[in-house]
Amino acid sequence: MVNTKMNRFFTIESFSKNIRVLLTRSSLLLGQTINAKLKELKNFEITSCQNPSPDMINDEAYDIVIHLIGFDPPSFAETLYHTSILHQLLDLCLKHKAKFVLVTSTENTALKEVAISLVRQFHKLFAVNFEIVEVGEKDSLDDAASEVLKKFVHKSHQSKLKKPEHEKIIPTKPKLPLFFLKPLILILSLLFLIAFFVWSSNYTLLCSLDNLTLGNWTQAKKCATITNYFPKNKELSKLIIDLSEVGESGMKIWSGKSEDMGNFVGLLSYAQERIAETIINVEDENVRQELSKWRTMVKRLKLVVNDMPTVMGLGKSTDYLILLQDVQEIRPTGGFIDGLGLLTISGGKIDSVQLLTSYTADGLLKGTVNTPEDLKLALGESSWYLRDSNWNPDFPQSAAQAAWFVQKQLGKQVQVVVGLNTRTMAKILAVTGPVSVDNLSQKVDARNLLDLGLTNASADLTKRSIYLGVFQAILAKIQTLSETQLGNLGSILLEELDNRQLLITGVGNTSLPNIRQAGWDGTLAPAGCPGVSACVADTLNVVSSNTGISKANAKVDQKMTVDVGLNDDTAQVSLSVQMTNKAVVNAWPLGNYKNYLRFYLPASAKVSQVVANNKPLSETEYTITSTSNFLIVGILVNVAANSTLDVGLNFTRGLPSLRRFVYLLDIPNQPGILENPLSVAIRYPTNWLSQAHQATQVVASGLFRYNASINKPFRVSFDFLKNE
């Protein structure tokens, strides 16, 4: 008689229309019978294999996994195979929420006991749905196969199956004596259980950390609770639970379900202390880095919480201006201002929305506005418009200018301005899911947003772009997100703020000082040296501005190289930007890349040379202007399709005369640009004593070297002691 052990009954209606089934050991007679019965039913896609490969397990998504064990003679090979593949199949089911059906012989063997124990333990840890079907030697193939199908196929569908002639399952007789194999199997089983214990400890720890990063607070707590049972990770698991509670509290405030700021601040303070206590005892460097990120994030959240009433519109509504910026037409704060969103936020919820293109708004401008000299040089425009208001890389200044245009053109006073670029929009779509936009036949998602923006670009610049429609659909979807999705979204927005890809600032009489202090408002200011008397801090900022009225940045790669040579009294700095235009032909919307390139250097810098493709430029081919904070070198360049242009400069600046000093190098990233490789070399006399405050890729006598990507701010500092 077939003996079944049921965990949970599923019917065919529980799955999607096309039900994908993975059937292992398909060459067995029972496997062939199950395969034949499934083929008689509709809506089943069957993958049959003798031994599933790692690629199949890693890449394919299935609704049902049927795994047959114990129908071969006991052998070392079979035991090793099953104990190594079983947990991979269970991982597959966990990843894709698939149902697992274990089919085994009724004969009691060590392999069977280990397999059943592993499945049940995995279910307890991760709630994977499973069924166990035990098949006896005298059971017919038809009955056994039907019993397997009953675990996921409704009986009304079962009745449609053909009834073949009864055939007995005849296991192959063992060729080796069992008294020799049993001790070996028991030893392997014990080793496997030990390995599984270690794997479970590491798995649940990674599970909790990954979900914490994603903002899945509930799941992070579940995994951390399981991790708590392993003594080695007990302290760390408790910290992850504390951080999850911080996330849950913050999410309730953000979603308007709570205004209890006091509790949120208390949780932040406690979490900050717990991180400091725990990180000391963590040995794994990757975990330490992850906790360091959370320490920084908790510190910033604790700082900005005082600005939350204004940001969330608590007590009094807040009027927002959202600048939708196209990264494929790069501008200083993230991209060309393609559209505007005017929102009113009250109690954490959106009260009203008005969307329009920047060209529509500019059509309402009366009179002319004086254009900044460098913008006039780059664009040739005699009047300034809202669409070009983000010309200053200092976002608070650009935001104030955009808000001024909105007030003049639309009669709308705003308190908060947000710079939202289309790369960040794509990340938001990864949480909300695909959206539908008028006049588009396909849905827009995280993967195709930029491609659709490019293919639907119009030479008629007054036409509505797809980005406004996408933004409108995103706003509608945000109102219906689950708590888990809201957590995911909050995590992404915090990361984008921290990486200067998403910018927010108050304008007019509205001040957000704590957000400014956290570095989330996009202020461009010289780096400071906290608490150090003898210090040199160099801020080097490269700003690209596409002024060719094209989407050339979709095909432009940019690479930055910085070389700093220090001697007794002077720093000699070489800074270059290599731009490669991968467009094939000079045709709109791609084609030539016309870029007004600006180098923001220390105010005391003395420029000695500006070059393009190693050719020195005359002083008439670039401009130099000064502000209280920076020396700005501007040059208008053109990178033709299928070509590369390297633009750079050299400058010097003085160093302290003291023997010991700190050198700090700060390189802010430009919002909207992600793939921007950076190479930094710091050279100094070999007889100096030195210490780098950040880990380096290359350390040699008289040299520190870093290789990074400027998708977030880059900052390094060093202690130097000159030998006499």
First to last CA, the chain: 92
367: left (phi over 0), alpha (psi -120 to 50) or beta: left
Question: Which pLDDT score, from 0 to 100, does residue 44 have?
Answer: 85
* Residue 543: count of CB within 10 angstroms of its CB: 22
Q: Name 84's Cβ contacts closer than 8 Å, sequence gap at least 6.
A: none
Question: Which pLDDT score, from 0 to 100, does residue 460 have?
Answer: 75
CA dihedral (253, 256, 258, 262) positive or negative: positive
CA dihedral (312, 449, 333, 319) positive or negative: negative
Question: Which pLDDT score, from 0 to 100, does residue 165 have?
Answer: 47
Residue listed under structure tokens 């990757």: 286
DSSP state of 525: -
Question: Which pLDDT score, from 0 to 100, does residue 439 have?
Answer: 85
Question: Which pLDDT score, from 0 to 100, does residue 399 have?
Answer: 98
Q: What is the 3-state secondary structure (H, E, C) of 436-461?
A: CCCCCCCCECCCCHHHHHHHCCCCCC
Question: Which pLDDT score, from 0 to 100, does residue 167 have?
Answer: 46
Q: Which stretches of the chain drop beneath a pLDDT of 70?
A: 1-17, 53-59, 73-84, 110, 125-126, 154-204, 227-232, 255-256, 259, 462, 531-532, 724
Query: What is the distance between the alpha carbons of residues 687 and 414, in angstroms, rounded to a whole number?
Result: 57
Edge-to-edge strands, sheet with 593-602? 541-543, 593-602, 630-639, 623-626
Query: What is the distance between the alpha carbons of residues 131 and 147, in angstroms, rounded to a whole number?
Result: 11
**Do the beta carbons of residue 576 and residue 646 sit within 8 Å?**
yes
pLDDT 10s digits, 330-375: 999 999 999 999 999 998 889 999 999 999 999 999 989 999 999 9
Query: What is the distance between the alpha carbons of residues 409 and 353, in angstroms, rounded to a whole number?
Result: 17
What sections of 103-233 are H helices per DSSP?
Answer: 110-126, 141-149, 155-158, 178-214, 217-227
Q: Which two tokens stand for residue 222?
A: 């579940």
Q: Which two tokens stand for residue 22?
A: 């993975």
**Do the beta carbons of residue 577 and residue 613 sit within 8 Å?**
no
**Do the beta carbons of residue 548 and residue 589 sit within 8 Å?**
no
Question: Which pLDDT score, from 0 to 100, does residue 661 have?
Answer: 92
Query: What is the distance between the alpha carbons of residues 32 and 673, in angstroms, rounded to a whole number?
Result: 55
Question: Which pLDDT score, from 0 to 100, does residue 189 have?
Answer: 56
- Which contiguous run of DSSP H or E holds residue 466? helix 466-478
Q: Which two tokens stand for residue 476?
A: 């509608």
Question: Which pLDDT score, from 0 to 100, does residue 17 have?
Answer: 59
Question: Which pLDDT score, from 0 to 100, does residue 6 have?
Answer: 39
DSSP state of 140: B
Closest by alpha carbon to 522, among 377, 342, 371, 402?
402
- Which contiguous run of DSSP H or E holds residue 429? helix 422-432
Query: What is the distance between the alpha carbons of residues 333 and 417, in angstroms, rounded to a whole number?
Result: 12
Q: Which two tokens stand for residue 593?
A: 């890349």
Query: What is the distance between the alpha carbons of residues 458 and 464, in angstroms, rounded to a whole number?
Result: 9
What sections of 11-132 are H helices per DSSP?
Answer: 29-39, 54-59, 76-96, 110-126
* Residue 88: count of CB within 10 angstroms of its CB: 13
Instruction: Provide the b/e sequence for 49-65 (b: ≥16 CB within 10 Å).
Output: eeebeeebbeeeebbbb
Q: What is the 3-state secondary structure (H, E, C) of 588-652?
A: CCCCCEEEEEEEEEECCCEEEEEEECCEECCHHHCEEEECCCEEEEEEEEEECCCEEEEEEEEEE
Residue listed under structure tokens 């000699």: 572
Rounded CA Rg of the chain: 32
Question: Which pLDDT score, from 0 to 100, does residue 443 have?
Answer: 95
- How far, CA to CA in Å, does 529 sit from each of 461, 567, 667, 668, 710? 46, 20, 15, 16, 22
Q: Angle at the Cα of 340 (from 337 to 341), degrees rounded to 5? A: 145
Query: What is the distance between the alpha carbons of residues 13 and 19, in angstroms, rounded to a whole number?
Result: 10
Residue 565's beta-bridge partner residues? 572, 683
What is the phi/psi pair of residue 690, to 5°? -145, 155
Query: What is the distance between the alpha carbons of residues 293 and 437, in angstroms, rounded to a whole number?
Result: 37
Query: What is the distance between the alpha carbons of residues 217 and 85, in angstroms, rounded to a whole number?
Result: 31
- How far, CA to CA in Å, does 172 sit from each of 29, 30, 71, 79, 148? 11, 13, 8, 16, 21
Residue listed under structure tokens 């039907």: 146
Question: Which pLDDT score, from 0 to 100, does residue 310 have?
Answer: 92
Query: What is the distance between the alpha carbons of residues 436 and 439, in angstroms, rounded to a whole number?
Result: 9
